[in-house]
Amino acid sequence: MEYKFPPFLTTVLTNLLKRKSTRPYPYQKRAPYPEVRGILKNQVEKCIFCGSCSLKCPANCIEINKQEGTWQYKPYLCILCGNCEAACPVKCLTHTTDFPLPCLEKKEILLKGTPPKRKQDKK
Amino acid sequence: MPKTIIPFGPQHPVLPEPLHFSLTVEDEIVQEAIPGFGYVHRGLEKLCEIKDIHKMIQVVERVCGICSKIHALCYCEGIEQMMGVEVPPRAKYLRTIWSELHRMHSHLLWLGLFADSFGFESLFYHFWRIREKILDINEKTAGNRIIVSVNILGGVKRDLSTEDQKWILAELKEIENKLEEVKDTLFKDYTISKRTKGKGILSAEEALYLGAVGPVLRASGVAQDCRQLQYAAFSELDFEPVIAQEGDSFARMQVRYFELFQSIDLIRQALSKIPEGPISVKVKGYPEGENVFRVEQPRGEVFYYFKANGSKFLDRLRIRTPTFANVPALAKMLTGIELADVPVVILSIDPCISCTER
């Protein structure tokens, strides 16, 4: 009724002769695609501390203090959705192509910049 | 022979997720199967009260890891229908392309797990190697590999360039060739037909009566596919639901295998017809009223109910996933089979438990 010769055997034998389909990972890495969303980077000198990114973040991983000019990011909460990048009015937020590595402790990134002066302060 | 009750799960080598069955067994033949749920409940529906309608997209994507894009598609189209937002045609096509890519990688994942359930390890890795190509397409075009996060209310976030489209078509050609290679193994291998043919039979009447959906229903000979409801760009694409007549585990495998080719065909059609234009429109205001939206997931029909009150939070969001609809049919299939066939039959409905418990 069925094959006497197992049909997968030819695939198995050709796979034996071919080179490996996996990479020896930590020694040989594939170059990331340029469109990949990796760790979030903030060019804090461009940042105006408007709070759009923290408002749009579904995981609440960004906290902003406008008075002190601080931008705090919790990479272990970030889900790499790209909403903050799209919401940023001055385009200072970018996702790099490096993906977040596993870590033993929760590290937070705290960046300090100079918030723009308000109109009444200028006067 | 006295009856014995054997617990199956929640931890079992073939189950990727915790699902419990109390099997009443007499002479190694299952007499009754009672399902038990509730090991991975996360309360995602309740989150709609504290996350606004835009942030909820990322929450519904996490209902199911494998068909995340299709959950987001259903949610976005449902809300857009309530608000009367007209999505640009290019965005509709892009949504269709990514949702078909998700269907393909879900089916390949399942075919691998199914091969593993009857101990065919090398076929399992072979399917997952093919799946890797689709994950690479997702990574290059959408930014992430599985939870692609491309949907927004009013369109999509990313566009496909002409080079990307050409690259996708070339990759699809290669995937199609690789799938053709395993066709003989799937349909003519002695072990596979011995372990799957005639196991867990569900007739068309039983499938309709018990409310089965998706490939389980189509494998029983009922040509029903939610893509015929013509959401996204499916109204402009030409396809017929894939069906099989036998209603056993082998037929369910057959339906999913041929749906891979159907998805490849749909992606090709969508890429050849994709219009130029914007990929999103700005959505202003908040929804009001009630709505129901259904789309076809890899596992079957997913049902969303929305109740909104005009504020930025939804009043109620109800999600019914395909595995929930297929469990009564599964309990029926399990009665009358041998205990050794239970893992194969449970895997044959493609159970997604965290999806079911949300």
- Quick one: pLDDT at residue B358? 80
Taking an 8 Å cut-off on Cβ atoms, the answer to whether B140 and A35 are in contact is yes
pLDDT of A120 reads 67
Tell me the domain boundaries of chain A.
33-100
Contact with chain A for residue B207, Cβ under 8 A: no
Nearest chain A CA: its distance from B150 CA (Å): 8
Cross-chain Cβ contact B185/A11 below 8 Å: yes
Q: Which of B57, B122, B185 shows the shortest C-beta gap to A7? A: B185
Q: Which residue of chain B has the CA closest to A13? A: B122
DSSP track, A43-62:
-TTT-----HHHHH-TT--E
Of B245, B217, B233, give the one whose Cα is nearest residue B295: B233
In angstroms, the Cα distances linking A64 to A43, A95, A119, B58, B145 are 14, 18, 20, 22, 30
Instruction: Give A23's DSSP letter.
Output: -
Helix axes B249-273, B162-181, angle to 10 degrees: 160
Of A3, A36, A59, which has the smallest distance from its Cβ to B190's Cβ? Answer: A3
Least confident of B6-15, B24-33, B298-307, B344-353: B6-15
Could you tell me if B282 lies within 8 Å of chain A, comparing CB atoms? no
Q: Is the CB of B161 inside 8 Å of chain A's CB atoms?
A: no
| Cβ–Cβ below 8 Å for B189 and A37 | no
Whether cis (ω within 30° of 0) applies to the bond prior to B10 is yes
Contact of B173 with chain A, judged by CB distance below 8 Å, is answered with: no
* Least confident span in B14-18, B152-156, B161-165: B14-18
- Write the pLDDT tens digit of every residue in B42-62: 888 888 888 888 888 988 988
Q: What is the pLDDT of residues B168-220, one digit of tens each?
A: 999 999 999 989 888 888 888 888 888 888 888 888 898 899 989 989 999 98
Contact B321, B60 (CB under 8 A): no
Q: For chain B, say whether A12 makes contact (Cβ under 8 Å).
A: yes
Chain B residues in contact with A79 (beta carbon < 8 A): 58, 147, 149
Shortest Cα distance, chain B CAs vs residue A117, angstroms? 30
Contact of B336 with B201, CB cutoff 8 Å? no
Task: Indicate the length of chain B as a whole number.
Answer: 358
- Decide the pairing of beta strands B151-152 and B288-297: unpaired
Contacts of A6 in chain B (CB under 8 A): 185, 189-190
Interchain CB contact of A100 with B (< 8 Å): no
- Inform me whether the pLDDT recorded for B158 exceeds 90: no
- Could you tell me if B59 lies within 8 Å of chain A, comparing CB atoms? yes
What token pair was written down for B196? 């799957």
Answer yes or no: do B147 and A79 touch at CB < 8 A. yes
Residue A66 vs residues A57, A78, A122, B253: alpha-carbon distances, Å:
17, 21, 16, 57
The CATH-assigned architecture of domain A33-100 is 2-Layer Sandwich (3.30)
Arithmetic mean of pLDDT, B240-254? 89
Q: What is the CATH number of domain B45-323?
A: 1.10.645.10
Confidence of residue A122 (pLDDT cuts 50, 70, 90): low
Residue of chain A whose Cα is closest to the Cα of B52? A58
Whether residue A35 and residue B184 make contact (CB cut-off 8 A), yes or no, is no
Enumerate residues 6+ apart whose C-beta is below 8 A from A43. Answer: A92, A94
Q: What is the pLDDT of residues A10-36, one digit of tens each?
A: 888 888 898 888 888 889 888 888 888
Reply yes or no on whether the pLDDT at A121 is more than 70.
no
CA of B186 to nearest chain A CA: how many angstroms apart?
9
Alpha carbon distance, N-terminus to C-terminus of chain B: 40
Q: Distance between alpha carbon B314 and the CA centroid of its chain, in Å? A: 25
Cα distances from A59 to residues A79, A112, B21, in angstroms, run: 7, 22, 35
Closest approach of A55 to chain B, Cα-based (Å): 10
- Hey, is the C-beta of B122 within 8 angstroms of any chain A C-beta? yes
Measure B9 CA to nearest chain A CA, in Å.
30
Q: Where are chain B's structural domains? A: 45-323
- Hey, are the CB atoms on A2 and B157 less than 8 Å from each other? no
CA distance B24 to chain A (A): 34
What is the separation of C-alpha B274 from the centre of its chain, rounded to a whole number of angstroms? 24
DSSP, residue by residue, B269-311: HHHHHPPPS-SB----S--EEEEEEEEEETTEEEEEEEEEESS
pLDDT(B247) > 80: yes
Judge: B188–A2 Cβ closer than 8 Å, yes or no: yes
Record: contact B122-A8, CB cut-off 8 A: yes
For residue range B89-148, list pLDDT tens digits in order: 999 999 999 999 999 999 999 999 888 888 888 888 889 989 999 999 988 898 888 888
Give B170's contacts (C-beta < 8 A, 6+ positions apart): none
Give the number of C-alpha atoms closer than 13 A to the C-alpha of residue B178, restricted to the C-beta side: 20
**Window 62-91 of A, Cβ < 8 Å to B:** 79-83, 86
Tokens 């940023």 correspond to A88
Q: Which of B55, B143, B157 sits opposite A36 (nearest CB)?
A: B143
Q: What is the mean pLDDT of residues A40-44?
A: 85
Work out the mean pLDDT of chain B and round it to a whole number: 88
Q: Spell B216-247 as b/e; 16+ CB within 10 A means b.
A: bbbbbebebbbbeeebbbbeebeeebbbbebb
Nearest to B157 among A36, A79, A82 (CB): A82
Per DSSP, B80 falls in state H
CB-nearest partner of A58 from B59, B123, B189: B59
